[in-house]
Chain A
C-alpha cells in the first residue's frame, strides 16, 4: 500500500508504474522459483549421475580423477563383471543369479497377494460382513507394525512348518506383509462401485465368485495396475525379509548387492559396485519411468484418500 502511494506521489502515473513494478517483481519471483527447482533437480540427479558415470570408468580413472569427472570412454567392463564374475562372498559369478531369485520370489508373491487382496476388498465392500470395519482396522494396524516385532516368532513358525529358508517361506511372509495395504486399496476402489451392479447380478442368481470374475475383475484393470506396481516394487526392493527367510539358495538381488559391496577382499572396486547397484535399481526404475502416474498412485494409495 505504501509503495503504491509513494509511486503516485512521485510520478503522477500511478497505474502504469504499478503495473510495471508488479510485472518485474513477478518476473523475479518466477526466476527464483525456476532457480529453486533447478537446484533441487540437481540435488536429486547427482546420486544417479555419479552412479552411472562411476560404473563406466576404469579403476585407474576412479583413483586419479574426481567423482564428477565424466568417464573418458564408455567402458562397460564393470557392468559385465558385476553381472557375471564379481565375487559375492565366496562365489564369483556376479549378481545375475540374484535376478532369477528375485523373479522367483516376486512373481508368486505379487500374484497371490493381489488375488487375495482383491477378493478380500470385494467381500469387505460389496457384501454385508459383520465387523468389516474392525477387521480392516486390525489388518491395517498390522501394516504399521515394524517387522522386527514379528520376525523371530515368524522364523520359529516357519521352521516348525519345515519351510524356513525356502521359497514358500519368503513368499508367505511377503504375502502376509503385503495384504493390509493391498486389501485397503481394493476395498477403497470397490466401495465406489454402484451397488446396483451387484444387486442386479444377484437377482439373476449369480454367486459370489461368478460376480467377482465376470463383473468386478474386468472393471478393476486400473486398480490392478496400481496394486501391481506397489507390490512389484515393494518385493523387488525388499532386503530384510528375503535375507532372513529365503535361505542361501534363493537370495534376491538386493541381498546379493549388499553382500557384494560389503565384501572386503582387496581394494574395493567402486565401478563394479556402482554397476551392480544400477543393475539392481534398474527394474523398479524402468517401471517408474514407464508407468508414470500409476506409480505415484500406487505409492500414495491409501495415503491420500478423502
Chain B
C-alpha cells in the first residue's frame, strides 16, 4: 500500500513537468526549427515552402545594411562588455575599501537596472541631442564651438549607444563583482598584509584571477544583452542616422513586420542563433564549467 502511494507521488512529479516540456519543446525548439526551415525558402510576406538552398544567406551577405548591422553588433558588443565590466569592477573595488555611505553609492549605481532599455534610450537621447542637450549646455556656458553631436553622426552614433548601455549595465556588474570580492577569504588579505604586498598588486595578480568564473558569468550576461539589443536602439537612434546603428535584432524585426521579407529575416535570425551558440561554446571552454548552471 505504502509502495503504491510512493509510486503515485513519483509519477505526479513526472507528470507536472509535462506542460513545461511541451511548452518549451514547441515554443523554443519547434520555433527554432521552423525559422531554420523558412531561412532556406523564398518566403516573402507569407511563408512558402519552396526550397531555395542558401539563396537568402547569399543575398544577406550582399546587403550593405546587413554588413553594417552585423559589424555594429561586434563594435557595440566589444565596447559595451569591456567598458561595463571594467567600470563595474572599478566601482566594486572602490566600494570594497571600507567606504562610508556605501549603501547610498550602491543604490545610485544600480538604479538604472530597474529601468527598461526604452526608458534608458529616451533619457540618453534627450541628453545627447545636440540642439537641446549637453552640446547646447556647454555652448551656453561660453564655449561656443563646443561640439558633441555623436548622436546625429553616422560614424559616431554607435558609441552613444555604448555610453547608454554602459550606464545601464555597469551597476549590475558592480553588484556581481562586489559580491565576488566579498566572498574572498579574509585570510588571503591578512597574508598579503603580513607580506607587505600592495593592494593594487593583490587585486591584479591574486583577487581578480580568483574571480575568473564570476567574470566569465558577467561576460555571458552582457553578451546576451548585446545579441538581444533591440529596444535600446529603437528608443535612442531608431537604427539611424540612415541605418548606421542597425543591429541584427532590429534587422530581423524590421524585415519580419515592416518589409514583409520573412525568408531574409529568418536567415538573419539563424545567423544570430549561431552567434549565440558560438559565444556559449567559447565561454564554456574558457570557464571550464557549465555556464548554464552557473
Q: Which residues of A contact B (CB under 8 A)?
A: 30, 33-34, 36-37, 40-41, 43-48, 50-51, 54, 62, 66-68, 116, 119-120, 123-124, 127-129, 135-142, 144-154, 156-157, 175-176, 179-180, 183-184, 202, 205-209, 211, 233, 236-240, 244, 254, 257-258, 261-262, 270, 273-274, 277, 280-281, 284-285, 287-289, 292, 295-296, 299-300, 302-306
| Residues A281 and B115 in contact in the complex (CB < 8 Å), given A44-B108, A157-B26 | yes
- Chain B: minimal CB distance from A188 (Å): 9
Contact string, B265-276, partner A, CB cutoff 8 A, digits 1/0?
A: 110111011001
> Which of A37, A180, A299, A305 is within 8 Å of B172, CB to CB?
A299
A146-B228, A153-B31, A270-B126 given; A303·B294 CB < 8 A? yes
Taking a contact as CB atoms under 8 Å apart, the answer to whether B214 and A304 are in contact is: yes
Taking the nearest CB of chain B, how far is it from the CB of A126, in angstroms?
8
A48 to B126: give the CA distance in the assembly, Å.
Answer: 11
Closest A-chain residue to B164, C-beta based?
A47
Q: Residues of A contacting B238 with CB < 8 Å?
A: 262
B54: Cβ under 8 A from any A Cβ: no
Listed by A's residue number, 25 A-B pairs whose Cβ atoms lie within 8 Å are A33-B97, A34-B99, A40-B105, A50-B133, A51-B126, A62-B132, A67-B126, A129-B14, A144-B280, A145-B273, A146-B276, A148-B252, A149-B35, A150-B27, A150-B35, A151-B31, A152-B262, A157-B27, A180-B24, A254-B119, A261-B122, A281-B119, A296-B175, A299-B172, A303-B218
Q: Does B202 contact A (CB under 8 A)?
A: no
Nearest chain A residue, comparing its CB with the CB of B2:
A205
Stretch at the interface among B5-13, B75-83, B149-157: B5-13
Interface residues in B196-222 by Cβ distance below 8 A to A read 214, 217-218, 221
The number of chain B residues with a CB under 8 A from chain A is 99
Give the number of residue pairs across the A-B interface with Cβ within 8 Å: 264
B residues bordering A, Cβ < 8 Å? 2, 5-6, 8-10, 12-14, 16-17, 19-21, 23-24, 26-32, 34-35, 38, 47, 87, 90-91, 94-95, 97, 99, 105, 107-120, 122-124, 126-127, 132-134, 136-137, 140, 167, 171-172, 175-176, 179-180, 214, 217-218, 221, 224, 227-228, 230-231, 234-235, 238, 248-249, 252-253, 256-257, 262, 265-266, 268-270, 272-273, 276, 280, 290, 292-294
In chain B, what residue has the closest Cβ to A184? B293
Q: Which residues of A contact B253 (CB under 8 A)?
A: 148, 151, 240
Residues of chain B within 8 A of A44, CB atoms compared: 108-109, 111-112, 167, 171
Q: Is A149 a contact of B99 with CB atoms below 8 Å?
A: no
Contact in complex: A257, B114 (CB < 8 Å): no
- The CA-CA distance from A40 to B112 in the complex, in Å, is 13
Query: Could you tell me the distance in whole angstroms from the C-beta of A263 to the nearest C-beta in chain B?
Result: 13
Q: Given A280-B116, A280-B119, A41–B109 Cβ distance below 8 Å? A: yes
- B137 near A68 (CB under 8 angstroms)? yes
Residues of B within 8 A of A146 (CB): 227-228, 249, 269, 272-273, 276
Neighbouring B residues of A262 by C-beta, 8 Å: 238
Which chain B residue shows the least CB distance to A117?
B20
Q: With the chains together, A258 CA to B230 CA distance in Å? A: 13
Whether the pair A257, B272 counts as a contact (CB closer than 8 A) is no
Given known contacts A44-B167, A139-B24, A208-B16, is B272 in contact with A149 (CB within 8 Å)?
A: yes
> Are the CB atoms of B118 and A258 closer together than 8 Å?
yes
Closest to A201 in B: B9
